[in-house]
Structure formats: structure tokens, C-alpha cells
Amino acid sequence: MRGLLSNTGPFARLIGWWHSLDRGWQATTLGVVLVSALSVVGP
């Protein structure tokens, strides 16, 4: 768990990738992920 949350772990790399996107692409990514998740678990 500590490795996952470390500053060099996969989540840190994901955050690094997230910051490399501009805000419009972040919104598109977050929106599509949210819609996909809601359509799977929502009903």
C-alpha cells in the first residue's frame, strides 16, 4: 500500500500524466470516465 501511494508509485505517475494534460482534456477525460463508471454501476 505504501508503495502504491509513494511519490514514485503508479498513482504518482498517474498524477504526473494528469498534470501534463490541459484543462479541456482533463475535463474530457474526467467526464468520459465518470459517465462510463455511472453507466456501469449507476442503475
Partner 1 sequence: MSEDSRGPLDAVRRLLPGFALLVLIATASVLLADAVPGVNALLLGVALGALVANTAGVPDIAQPGIRTRKLLLETGIVLLGARIAIDELVASGPMLVGAVVATVVASVAFVELISRRVFGLADEMGSLLAAGASVCGVSAATTIAGTIDADGESLTHVVAAVLLFDALTLAIFPALGSLLPLSGQQFGIWAGLSMFSTGPVTAAGFAHSDVAGQWATVTKLARNSMLGVVALWYAVHYAGGRTDSLASAAEGVPRFLVGFGLVAAAANLGLFDPETLSIIDSASGALFALAFVGLGLGVRVDSMRKTGVAPVVVLAAHLVAVSVVSLGLVLAIF
**Binding region for partner 1 (CB under 8 A):** 5-7, 9, 11-12, 15-16, 19, 22-32, 34-35, 38-39, 42-43
Cβ 1 to partner 1 shortest distance, Å: 11
7 SS3 class: coil
Supply the minimum distance, in Å, between the C-beta of residue 36 and partner 1. 9
Q: How far is CA 34 from CA 12, 23, 40, in A?
A: 21, 16, 10
The distance of closest approach from Cβ of residue 32 to partner 1 in the complex, given in angstroms and rounded to an integer, is 6
Cβ–Cβ under 8 Å, residues 29 and 21: yes
